[in-house]
Structure 1
Amino acid sequence: MAYDVAIIGAGIVGAACARSLAAEGLRVVVLDRSAAASGTTGRGEGNLLVSDKAPGPELTLAQRARALWPVLADELADELGPAFPGIEFEPKGGLVVATTEAGAAPLADFAAAQRAAGVDARQIGADEALELEPHLTRDISAAVHYPEDAQVQPVIATEALLASARRHGAEVRTGVEVTGPLLDVRGRLRGVATSAGDVAADRVVLAAGPWTAEVSERLGARLPVRPRRGMVLVTTRMPHRVFRKVYDGDYFGATQSSDAALQTSSVVESTAAGTVLIGSSREQVGFDDRLRVEVLRQVAAKALRLFPFLAGASVMRAYGGFRPYMPDHLPVIGADHRLDGLWHATGHEGAGIGLSLATAELVAAGLTGAAAPVDPEPFSPARPSLAPHLTGAAA
């Protein structure tokens, strides 16, 4: 059977693309060498953030995605029924704080720029911050409340998107590894060779997250996505004492840095189950997944600056994951100009869960000829900022 679209990757971005394309009536197959949501998605915190993005294309994409998430939550609940678990969409908001005088002005300036771009970024005083988060440190020099920040359960959301895609006729094939391209006589990509046989498709959407460099090289059009590792601590269950996503003002700088060395900042939030998630770290160490105590030590120490009560908390586990990092800090969404038939939906780094729905909209619009919800050009594989990295870049 020949498909209209083959999607490589069954994480949340691939799942969102599958649902959007299948809903348009296209014949879709999703291929993944492992299980659905078993890579970056399954190790994410489910963040849907506008608070950590500077004015520009990524923020515009995040704002579009944030508008889609509550609609999707209702649609999936209606479509899949009460027997399928809800995606746990929670519009709990975020709080960003500075704990030093040096950090106060940059945080205020950043929030002002976001407000000019349409973000609900409310600069508040220390007393109001403590009303929102009573267990927060008293050493607050500046605070900004972001009511639009939200969260979902990423694995459930991915499985729900795939279930919906199946209802629209899509196939999902796990345990299938892509090994090479299927090219027509003119050199156009018209499917993929896999460990389970050839899969013919008019177009191929590569949504393999941090493994995109490896897969794209097999297909003949390498994209320089690199894995950027992060680690998270998880406490034992406790009464809720953190009510929003709370992080320090260093977090944005860490997300935008190109430094391969270890960077840590404080990010703290509770889960519905009563555990507390403590992050975050960023470092480029390839796909090395060994536990590094120094990383956990820095993450824990910075969390205590925000919430001193965590000194008495018990940590029950730590986990890490790999974010798909692009050298110019923008996702890659759209047709590859080097190989006809290849499309990309990757490179979101730590924002893939939040941006997945808007990414899928862009891919669907491009493949069907519909009007794009936001300008797709900044995310194009042919954009000028990416050109220097398309040849000779290290994995």
Structure 2
Amino acid sequence: MRVVVIGAGAVGAACALALTEAGAEVIVLDRTGVAGETSSRCEGNILVSDKEPGAEALMAIEANRAWRELAERLDADRVPGQPATEFEAKGGIVVAFPGGASALEEFAETQRGIGIRVEALDEAALRAAEPHLSPEVALGVHYPDDAQVQPSLATQAMLARARHLGAQFRLAEVTGGIVDRDRVRGVLTPEGRIDADVVVNCAGPWAGEAAALFGAALDIRPRRGTILVTVPMPQRVFHKVYDADYVGAVGSGDAALQTSTVVESTPGGTVLIGSSRERVGFSGEGLLEPLAEIADKAARLFPFLRDTMLLRTYYGFRPYAPDHLPAIGADARLEGLFHAAGHEGAGIGLAPTTGALIAHAVLGTPAPLDPTPFLPSRPTLQGVPA
């Protein structure tokens, strides 16, 4: 079977790897390059801590396991041109300021009920784990399974392995779809047509536009996020630390600006500070307000940041689905068209399991979990008001 994958971000690379390992002939197309957009403009989160009980939480638990196996496999036997994933099983700490402790405790208890490991920290344990936290913090909850990769490098690693196994990568924009009698037959590019038995749409925030090239409808929208990066320093943040209001921001459907605090160190010594969410289309205007809010909230959580110099800031667009679940599987109408998009900020973390679900849908390989909640044909993704 010949499969064209549109998009060489983390989800596209994971799908390409899973399909290639399952025996398909795979061609990956991207107009900007490997990890050229969303996957190079994020923090590389592999989280279970921010997931409410439900389908995505179960997928996150499976993906967390899958990432550990995949990162170990990729890093242990690197092929030429394949970078290390920089996988870190650092764990996460979610904190609450006065007034928010009870809600965090209740949320953590619901997560325990579905098998997420959660450890409440008393004041002494919290200060030992993160000695530079603000004394204002009223509660900390430890999630030992939270992890991180360097997102651009991890994406490159997955695609490098897929190419080593026979997949092709071409720098090309998909300008049209080839459809014959409600059956996808390939794609059009400026260099010509590429025939295929199957097309997998992994175009991230542009997945709705990519679907439209085939006459299909997929309700995926861009949601902008911004991140600050400090200069390198001696390590003062030892886990992924975020305020409990991050969970509400992730699950919100509000188009207006929302900011919440996420702080973590990198192996290079910099500190990544996020995060913001707002639906402004693909605009790059008006970045000062989210950046200022993020900086102010981060300094409340870690006061030493007030005197820290910034190295840079950046922004990117996350693929937002109105019902807050990724769309993974066969198109609702067109035979031969599949989608893997709409993960918003969880695309890195859910990538390997997304790849496995696509391999299941396309080639019939075993599914790692029930694919039904994520199908693009689900009613909650069809006709949701903007």
The TM-score by the shorter chain falls in which range?
Answer: over 0.9
Paired position in structure 2 for 1:178: 174
Q: How much does 1:371 deviate? A: 2.5
Paired position in structure 2 for 1:218: 213
**1:174-229: CA deviations, max 9, x gaps?**
1x111111122x23111111121101111100000001111111111121111100
The answer on whether the counterparts of 2:117 and 2:143 sit within 8 Å (CA) in structure 1 is: yes
After superposition, the Cα gap between the structure-2 partners of 1:202 and 1:83, relative to the gap in structure 1 and judged at 3 Å, is closer
Paired position in structure 2 for 1:76: 74
Q: How much does 1:80 deviate? A: 2.0
What one-letter code is carried by the residue in structure 2 that aligns with 1:122?
Answer: E
Paired position in structure 1 for 2:89: 91
Residue-pair matches, total: 386
Matches of 1:262 and 1:150 in 2, distance apart?
27
Matched, 1:27 2:25: yes
The answer on whether the counterparts of 2:94 and 2:141 sit within 8 Å (CA) in structure 1 is: yes
Q: CA RMSD in A?
A: 1.3
Q: TM-score, normalised by structure 1?
A: 0.95
Paired position in structure 1 for 2:222: 227
Matched, 1:386 2:381: yes
Matches of 1:82 and 1:222 in 2, distance apart?
39
Matched, 1:269 2:264: yes
Pairing 1:187-226 to 2, within 5 Å after superposition: 187-226=182-221
SS at match of 1:131: helix
Q: How much does 1:386 deviate? A: 1.4
After superposition, the Cα gap between the structure-2 partners of 1:84 and 1:194, relative to the gap in structure 1 and judged at 3 Å, is closer
Matches of 2:175 and 2:79 in 1, distance apart?
37
Paired position in structure 1 for 2:247: 252
Q: How much does 1:81 deviate? A: 4.7
In structure 2, runs of 5+ residues without a counterpart are none
Matches of 1:44 and 1:218 in 2, distance apart?
27
Matches of 1:89 and 1:82 in 2, distance apart?
19
The answer on whether the counterparts of 1:362 and 1:372 sit within 8 Å (CA) in structure 2 is: yes
Matched, 1:243 2:238: yes
After superposition, the Cα gap between the structure-2 partners of 1:76 and 1:369, relative to the gap in structure 1 and judged at 3 Å, is same
Pairing 1:1-395 to 2, within 5 Å after superposition: 4-81=2-79, 84-100=82-98, 102-174=99-171, 176-184=172-180, 186-290=181-285, 292-389=287-384
Matches of 1:26 and 1:371 in 2, distance apart?
15
The answer on whether the counterparts of 2:63 and 2:353 sit within 8 Å (CA) in structure 1 is: yes
Matches of 1:42 and 1:245 in 2, distance apart?
18
Matches of 1:233 and 1:163 in 2, distance apart?
29
Matches of 2:81 and 2:323 in 1, distance apart?
43
Q: How much does 1:388 deviate? A: 2.5
Matches of 2:77 and 2:315 in 1, distance apart?
33
Identity level (%): 54
Matches of 1:219 and 1:62 in 2, distance apart?
30
Matches of 2:241 and 2:76 in 1, distance apart?
32
What one-letter code is carried by the residue in structure 2 that aligns with 1:233?
Answer: L
After superposition, the Cα gap between the structure-2 partners of 1:81 and 1:5, relative to the gap in structure 1 and judged at 3 Å, is closer
Matches of 1:81 and 1:155 in 2, distance apart?
17
Matches of 2:128 and 2:75 in 1, distance apart?
33
After superposition, the Cα gap between the structure-2 partners of 1:363 and 1:98, relative to the gap in structure 1 and judged at 3 Å, is same
